[in-house]
A and B are shown apart, each in its own frame.
Chain A
Amino acid sequence: MSLLEVQSLSKTFGGVAAVAEVSFELEAGHVHSVIGPNGAGKTTLFNLIAGAVRPSGGKVRLDGADITGLAPHVLAERGIGRSFQTPQIFAAMSVAENVMVGRHLRLDRRLLPSLLGMPAVDRANRAARERAQLLLDQVGLGQEADRPAGGLAYGAMKRLEIARALAGDPRLLLLDEPAAGLNPTETAEITALIQAIAAAGVTVVLVEHDMRLVMAVSDHIIVLDSGRKLADGTAAAIRADPAVIAAYLGQAQ
């Protein structure tokens, strides 16, 4: 059975359809990519799935359960994690703390122990900190853990986004242009990271304009254009699709 099922999902902003009647299914454990021209509706699609924006129509199912229009934190609890195209980092907090927030749901969040500073909270904090360090090492920010996140270079912020999303142990991970602002060498590192994540059983959905990365990792690609689904298939099939070439890839590919 598919992990996520999207059924004629739509979103209009002031009459303009950013996402129109899009349907697809995502198989668990695979890496899926969503590609398409600028303004095609990829980020909006993520926003709809992760609850940042309420759909105008359609349905989203996770493991068969209807999750349409649920709040982001509820979806996070159900196992959906995401990174943002424009980094949404907590600038005043340290890099490690950013990741620890990503682990919020796995920590002791009871009010009374928190207020009283009980050892359980300390333990949770320590565990979260260790986990954060691990993840930061994984994305190559291990050295930066104690710096204020606001001072990171752009590319570093994008990696921090990934680490924070991973911290919640998501089942479904949505990555919005994780390689934007990374050079080919750095992108190769991210490619390996994504493959490792998928190998660990996490279902990944990738929005990315770097076709080398997309083609390298994707089991399945969805192409959007002007809010509609243009094509849906394996990397090889998509690469050869004339409509996709005309609308998005260009002859260079």
Chain B
Amino acid sequence: MTAALLEVAGLGAQYGRVVALHDATLAVAAGELVALVGGNGAGKTTLLRTISGVRPASAGSIRFEGRDITRLAPARRVGLGIVQVPEGRQVFAPLSVEDNLRLGAYARGRERSAEGLARAYRMFPALRQKRDLPAGSLSGGQQQMLAIARGLMAEPRLLLLDEPSMGLAPLLIAEIFAAIADLKRAGATILLVEQNATQALKIADRAYVLETGRVVLEGSGATLAQNERVKAAYLGM
């Protein structure tokens, strides 16, 4: 394993008194695609949000390129290239589709944004049709496309994907997974949370299993896909 781009050590997070994350430790090496698997409420979203800094860490540390970013403001982390595609789409409903995309590149300045727009529309032609409509009027799946495209606008160095395939039609899911594989080939580092665990494990280099806020298993994608416990709990077999 090469030097880790992201190192999470002993991370804890809580909502009031509810502890959502205990002592989570994981690492993602540069260029790696790591999947995070876990049931409802396991703490996957919480982990990603803590890495992005929009939730405070109650314990432990987060290092990016060896630098401690545990207390860094979220915007600064985006500046470093840590970008998240959030769960539940979270599009800016009153703004147009194109404005949503542009905001994806907020931290990068406007020069790159034309190029990025073209790429986004190539990836999701449905969005091009709706570019001037308020994002709130899109269908659920279209909003999900927008959320993914918006995240990619930032040209992330570390991409945190929280259930990117949710609500997408089967054809598109296949495309999304292909696109993720492409991104990885192009050198991006990705931490992927997916309920579509079968596919996620298929393309992942490594994976972690999260249960009630704890990392309980870790291994290569292929190994975990064969693990009996994983199969029963997450793959529906």
Contact = CB atoms under 8 A, between A and B. Distances in A.
User: Do A and B come into direct contact in the complex, CB within 8 Å?
Assistant: yes
A180 B167 contact: yes
A35 B151 CA distance: 27
A209 B41 contact: no
A209 B195 contact: no
A252 B174 contact: yes
Interface string A176-187: 010011111111
Interface stretch (A36-44, A62-70, A74-82): A36-44
Nearest to B236: A184
B6 to A, nearest CB: 23
In the A-B complex, the 8 residue pairs with the smallest Cβ-Cβ separation, listed nearest first, are A38-B141, A184-B236, A155-B40, A153-B41, A250-B171, A183-B195, A39-B139, A185-B236
A248 interface: yes
A155 B41 contact: yes
Contacts of B168: 38, 209
Given A153-B41, A154-B88, A187 B236 contact: yes
Contacts of B41: 152-153, 155-156
A211 interface: yes
Interface residues of B, number: 40
Contact of B170 (A152, A155, A248): A248
Nearest to A184: B236
A209 B169 contact: yes
B166 A38 contact: no
B170 A209 contact: yes
B148 interface: no
B25 interface: no
A151 interface: yes
A155 B234 CA distance: 14
Contacts of A188: 236
B125 to A, nearest CB: 11
A249 interface: yes
26 contacts: A37-B171, A38-B142, A38-B144, A40-B139, A43-B140, A85-B140, A86-B89, A153-B45, A154-B40, A154-B88, A155-B195, A177-B167, A180-B166, A182-B40, A183-B235, A184-B198, A185-B235, A186-B195, A187-B236, A188-B236, A209-B168, A209-B169, A209-B170, A248-B170, A248-B171, A252-B170
B160 to A, nearest CB: 15
Nearest to A155: B40
Given A37-B169, A155-B195, A177-B167, A184 B140 contact: no
A250 B141 contact: no
Contacts of B197: 183-184
Contact of A185 (B163, B169, B234): B234
Size category, A interface: 35 or more
Contacts of B171: 37, 248-250
Given A185-B235, A209-B167, A250-B171, 16 more contacts: A38-B140, A38-B145, A39-B139, A86-B88, A153-B42, A155-B41, A181-B195, A183-B37, A183-B196, A183-B235, A184-B237, A185-B232, A186-B40, A187-B236, A188-B236, A250-B174
Contacts of A187: 236
B126 interface: yes
B27 interface: no
Interface in B167-206: 167-174, 195-198
Interface in A214-253: 248-250, 252-253
Contacts of A185: 39, 232-236
A212 B85 CA distance: 26
Contacts of A153: 40-42, 45
A250 B145 CA distance: 18
A36 B168 CA distance: 10
Contacts of B39: 155, 183, 185-186
Interface in A150-204: 151-156, 159, 177, 180-188
Given A180-B166, A184-B197, A249-B171, A154 B87 contact: yes
B138, B140, B196 interface centre (most CB from chain A within 10 Å): B140
Contacts of B42: 153
Nearest to B42: A153
B223 interface: no
